């Protein structure tokens, strides 16, 4: 249970920081945080597929995944 809370917290912080980086990501605080949590999953998957150790790069992979998810969400929202 504690691990899940840490995962959600890291994903939420990564989503917030990614929303500051990605242009046009003004979807709102909660949406950006939710996309950040999804981005944490995406980042973990991407880094795992690349064969890069995830543990030491946990926050970094979450942040990269959140940037990817927010960028894709912005592309979809524009259409």
pLDDT tens profile 52-74: 766 656 788 888 888 888 888 88
Residue 77 CB coordination number (10 Å) = 11
pLDDT tens profile 13-56: 888 888 888 876 567 777 777 877 888 788 878 888 888 766 65
Burial grade of 51 (CB within 10 A; 0-12, 13-18, 19 or more): exposed
pLDDT recorded at residue 17: 86
Q: Domain extents for the chain? A: 2-78
Greater model confidence, 10 or 58: 10
Residue 1 has pLDDT above 60, yes or no: yes
3-state SS, residue 28: coil
Axis-axis angle for helices 58-78, 29-49 (nearest 10): 120
pLDDT recorded at residue 24: 62
Cβ atoms of 74 and 24 closer than 8 Å: yes
């Amino acid at each position: 249970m504690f691990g899940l809370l840490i995962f959600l917290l890291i994903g939420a912080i990564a989503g917030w920081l990614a929303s500051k980086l990605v242009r046009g990501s003004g979807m709102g605080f909660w949406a950006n945080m939710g996309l950040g949590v999804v981005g944490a999953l995406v980042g973990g998957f991407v880094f795992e597929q690349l064969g890069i150790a995830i543990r030491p790069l946990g926050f970094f992979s979450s942040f990269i995944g959140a940037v990817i998810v927010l960028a894709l969400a912005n592309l979809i929202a524009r259409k």
